[in-house]
Structure 1
Amino acid sequence: MIGSAAATALRLFAPMGVVAVPRGYCFVVQHHNGHSRTMSPGVGWRVPLLEWVCARIDMGERVLTYPPVPVITGDDRAVNVAVTVRVKVTDPLRHAASGMDGPTAVHAVATYVVRMIGADLTAHDMLTGPGFLAARLQAGMQEETLTWGITVLEARSTVEPAPHLRP
């Protein structure tokens, strides 16, 4: 009798434990005690009722383009800086634990870093040194985003004078 009940329970719950992870994704599985693990692409197993998939992480590269933000430079002039960033999730457990929306968080960091860099430079330096600005932008963003499990692969910026500075 007990054997047949166990077999019935196994037939009911075993299919619930099979998880198919698509190519290019990583699933974060959380156990009821808070321990987390990752599942790589392919077919995997989780313990039904004790473990659940808490995050489905896209492991591919993403190109994020943000509209221009106004920046006040060190010589009290205004420029508009548009940022394009290429990012990739490198630590899915950290990314899932952070609870951050990746594109929104990266945009906030990009805006903050561009404004901090702009405060140190003149408007002329910002307009004539896009390579220097992009290198500092990538380095500054990398420090912040690593704690979220995101790596900044490339950062590009486009600087234009503010409307009142245009001839």
Structure 2
Amino acid sequence: MFPTALTVVLVLLVILAIVAVSMTVKIVPQARAGIVERFGKYRATLPAGLNIVMPFVDKVRYMIDTREQVVSFPPQPVITEDNLTVSIDTVIYFQVTDPVSATYEIANYIQAIEQLTMTTLRNIIGGMSLEHALTSRDQINSGLRGELDGATGKWGIRVNRVELKGIDPPPSISDAMEKQMRAERDKRAAILTAEGERQSAILSAEGSKQASILTAEGEKQAQILNAQADRQASILRAQGEGQAIQTVFQAIHDGNPDQKLLAYQYLQTLPKIAQGENASTWIVPAELTKALGSIGGAIGTVPVDGGGSKKRVDMEAPVVEETEDDAGTQEAVEAALEAAKDAEGPGATPKSRPAPDAE
């Protein structure tokens, strides 16, 4: 069954109504702006949300993104003040603040920003040396942003930030700079090593100095103590010798020795004569009795009581260390020696008993 003419007309009207509604209602996404033209002329800017336009008359020509955008430009060759070519790539952060100006004031604002960035960058880098350019990125960024923001303001675009991604000098310059930096690091390392050795030498010298001072102080104290010990030992030896002399002297006078004792002592002394290194030969007299008699006559009669010291020496008493009476000890020793000489001299007249005749 073929449709009637009325049915066809109704279908066409429905389709036309749907098309009209779709052309009338426009939905603009968030952070977008729609540019509406009527018969090729700007009419209005549609905000985000639901908008109504005149169908078949008004047309949304452009949809402008009002968010901040990031554009990275490829590396561009730039000549520095010292005639060195470096490659610089940049990153631009910008935002469309006026969609109408961005649409009708410039045909392609992205390309315009790129070209403006390159020309401005050449002007700035051209007045700097390579070392200055490598160490002045903040200065370059600030100058480039100011120039771009001033030039793109009439296009309804605000440049928020400009960053230099990299500044690449030629390979030969890079090698030379690397060698220079290596030399600087070697120099600093050598300086630090020398400083360390200097400090080590100073500390070692200070340590040696302190050690020498302490050693000298120790030797001084040791010498003082040794001297004091020698002094005490000499005093004790002198006291011991004095007491020994007194003891021997007293024993001689208490024993009343005679010629036989002297002969016996002579016989005991004779073997000791042969003990010397040079006494390889010695002769015993044939008339030993006459020799002993002549020795006794030469010595004289041994007194029974020589009139010497009667002081009894306590053999068990310890030797007392006296450091204050050195002069008294020396005088006692000298007195004992003088008394012994007087008793044994030929002019002595002590009481004695006659010696028996030698057999």
TM range (shorter): 0.7 to 0.9
The whole-number CA distance in structure 2 between the counterparts of 1:102 and 1:166 is: 36
Question: For 1:64 and 1:123, how far apart are their aligned partners in 2?
Answer: 26
1:59 aligns to what?
Answer: 66
Listed as ranges, the matches of 1:14-33 within 5 Å are 14-32=21-39
Residues 136-147 of structure 1: pairs in structure 2 closer than 5 A: 136-147=143-154
Which structure has the highest helix share of the two?
A: 2
* SS of the residue 1:54 aligns to: strand
Amino acid at match of 1:159: I
Query: Which residue number corresponds to residue 171 of structure 2?
Result: 163
**Count of aligned pairs between the two proteins:** 160
CA drift of 1:14 comes to 4.2
- Pick from 133, 155, 159 the counterpart of residue 152 of structure 1: 159
Backbone CA RMSD of aligned residues: 2.0
Please name the residue that 1:115 is paired with.
122
In the other structure, the counterpart of 2:47 is 40
- Paired residue for 1:73? 80
Give the share of equivalent positions with the same residue, in percent: 25
Unaligned runs of 5+ in 1: 1-7
Higher relative contact order (CA 8 A, sep 6+): 1
Aligned counterparts of 1:95 and 1:110: Cα–Cα separation in 2: 17
Q: Of residues 124, 133, 154 in structure 2, which corresponds to 1:126?
A: 133
- 1:89 paired residue number: 96
TM-score, reference length from structure 1:
0.86
TM-score, with structure 2 as normaliser: 0.42
Q: Is the partner of 1:156 in helix, strand or coil?
A: strand
Secondary structure at the counterpart of residue 105 of structure 1 = helix
Aligned-pair CA distance for 1:20: 0.5
Q: CA deviation at 1:29?
A: 0.7
Cα distance per residue 1:133-160 (max 9 Å; x no partner) = 0000101111222222211110011322
| Deviation of the 1:33 alpha carbon | 6.5
- Say whether the 8 Å CA contact 1:30–1:36 is kept in structure 2: yes
* Mapped partners of 2:20, 2:85: distance in 1: 62
Q: Counterparts of 2:148 and 2:106 in 1: how far apart (Å)?
A: 18
Q: What is the one-letter code of the residue matched to 1:20?
A: I
Checking the alignment, whether the CA contact within 8 Å between 2:35 and 2:42 is kept in structure 1 is no
Instruction: Tell me how far apart the structure 1 counterparts of residues 38 and 174 of structure 2 sit (CA, whole Å).
Output: 58
Larger gyration radius, structure 1 or structure 2: 2
> Once the 2 structures are TM-superposed, how far is the Cα of residue 47 of structure 1 from its aligned partner?
1.3
Determine helix, strand or coil for the equivalent of 1:88: strand
Q: How many angstroms does 1:104 deviate by?
A: 2.2
CA positional deviation for 1:116: 1.2
Deviation at 1:15, TM superposition (A): 3.7
Amino acid at match of 2:155: W
SS of match in other structure, 1:121: coil
